[in-house]
Structure 1
Amino acid sequence: MMTNLFSVFDPSTSMFNLSINWMSTTIGLMLMPTMFWLIPTRMSSIWNNITKTLHNEFKTLLGVNALNGTTFIFISVFSLILFNNFMGLFPYIFTSSSHLAFTLTLSLPLWISFMVYGWINHTQHMFAHLVPQGTPGVLMPFMVCIETISNLIRPGTLAVRLAANMIAGHLLMTLLGSTGTSISYSILTLLIITQIALLMLESAVSIIQSYVFAVLSTLYSSEVN
């Protein structure tokens, strides 16, 4: 029984007293047919075209000084988030991307690695980023504080943005779905249509949010070169 609206995001489960809901993060890969991995099918061809497009776009964002293979890191992040976002749309499947434990695990190591690499190898360039070009001398101390704070909160904003967008859509669908047992058939038809529209919207949000996370991570990486 659901004690409150947010209990749909509770990672605990009563099955053998084990918290196995996090297995949905990777167990869905077992649902993919072996043909997807071994034989070039239409599904794999479409996915290859998507990854090629992302590779070209991330390569443009990173610039010519980026290390070879850097784009594949962000393509992998995009794929993982997209997979988990879509898995959360299925009934009775735990939405791991709606928890900060998942989103911070992705954003924090990326941001720390960017910072360590940038400050060790491009120290002068990193100091230059703290003061935007054309800033008056009087405002320089304030701009350093502002830029430092904005830099420190980047992993948090990445994580919270993804988790909040996943929570918002799922809460709305849960809230509307819980009223289905107490309304008339005429309103129920309208509710089902609304739920289908919301499901389509959430599918689009799942794609957009995974893309936004990957693009912002790419932009943060390009600033340290």
Structure 2
Amino acid sequence: MMTNLFSIFDPSTSQSISLNWVSTLLIILSTPYLYWVIPSRLQILIINMFNILNKELSILLSNSKKPGMTFLLISLFWLISMNNSLGLLPHIFTSTSHIMMTLSLALPIWMTIMLFGWLNNTTHMFAHLVPQGTPPALMMFMVCIESISNLIRPITLSVRLAANMIAGHLLLTLLSNSAVMSSLSTTLTISIAQIALLTLEMAVALIQAYVFVVLSTLYSTEIH
């Protein structure tokens, strides 16, 4: 029995042991293995998706591409997308709907980018605080605005991912609760709406992972 609507996102399965976070490790079971002589159709689909993503990220990192950078970003995409998708299955906790998980992903990426930029390209980082063509009277304000914009980036990255995951699950829960005491026709309509919403959530699971990775890539290009 839920004490409140948001208790479905509470990562606790019992008073003695918590098993919800184990779902994060299930990504290992879904990772495509390359030692098969003949890969399955699922493995071919995943590899093709990785190749397309690698080409797009390589274009974004054309001026600042480092060895293994795209591999790191693709791994991050796979981690987030699989946790988003696993959360759509019954009785599996969506770890990416918890701010602790999303902030743990966004904060190290942002700190690494900032430390690398300020230690290796200090002059460029100072110049980036004042956009080109800014009037002298507004330079002080632009420095404050750009500084705040940089500082809140890990928060916006993590909150965007968690909020989008929470929104879909809350809507599915609200529709389920309203269908319990409804008539047969209403229940059928709600069921069709839930199927459509679930299909949309599958797309959102991949889109949000893609957005997270692309924004991280764009942030890393600003330090060069």
Q: Which bracket does the TM-score occupy, shorter chain normalised? A: over 0.9
Q: Which residue of 1 aligns with 2:12?
A: 12
Q: CA deviation at 1:124?
A: 0.5
2:35 aligned with 1:38, yes or no?
yes
Taking the aligned partners of 2:120 and 2:95, their CA distance within structure 1 comes to 35
Aligned residues of 1:63 and 1:222 also touching (Cα < 8 A): no
2:152 aligned with 1:153, yes or no?
yes
**How many residue pairs are counted as aligned between the two chains?**
222
Q: Which amino acid aligns with 1:26?
A: L
Taking the aligned partners of 1:199 and 1:155, their CA distance within structure 2 comes to 28
Taking the aligned partners of 1:175 and 1:38, their CA distance within structure 2 comes to 44
SS at match of 1:38: coil
Q: Which residue of 2 aligns with 1:138?
A: 137
SS at match of 1:17: coil
Q: CA deviation at 1:29?
A: 3.1
The 5-angstrom pairing of residues 61-210 of structure 1 reads 61-210=60-209
2:218 aligned with 1:219, yes or no?
yes
Taking the aligned partners of 2:64 and 2:213, their CA distance within structure 1 comes to 19
Aligned residues of 1:77 and 1:214 also touching (Cα < 8 A): yes
Moved more, 41-50 or 190-199: 41-50
Unaligned runs of at least 5 residues, structure 1: none
C-alpha deviations, 1:3-33, integer Å up to 9, x for none?
111010011111x711221110013533x49
Q: CA deviation at 1:43?
A: 1.2
Aligned residues of 2:157 and 2:212 also touching (Cα < 8 A): yes
Moved more, 194-203 or 61-70: 61-70
Unaligned runs of at least 5 residues, structure 2: none
User: Do the aligned partners of residues 8 and 147 (structure 1) sit closer, same or farther apart at CA in structure 2, a change above 3 Å counting?
Assistant: same
Q: Which amino acid aligns with 1:38?
A: Y
Q: Which amino acid aligns with 2:35?
A: L
Q: TM-score, normalised by structure 2?
A: 0.95
C-alpha deviations, 1:147-188, integer Å up to 9, x for none?
000000000000000000000000000011012220111111
C-alpha deviations, 1:85-111, integer Å up to 9, x for none?
000000110010000110001000000
Q: TM-score, normalised by structure 1?
A: 0.95
Identity across matched positions, percent: 56
Q: CA deviation at 1:65?
A: 2.9
Q: CA deviation at 1:44?
A: 1.1
Taking the aligned partners of 1:183 and 1:144, their CA distance within structure 2 comes to 56
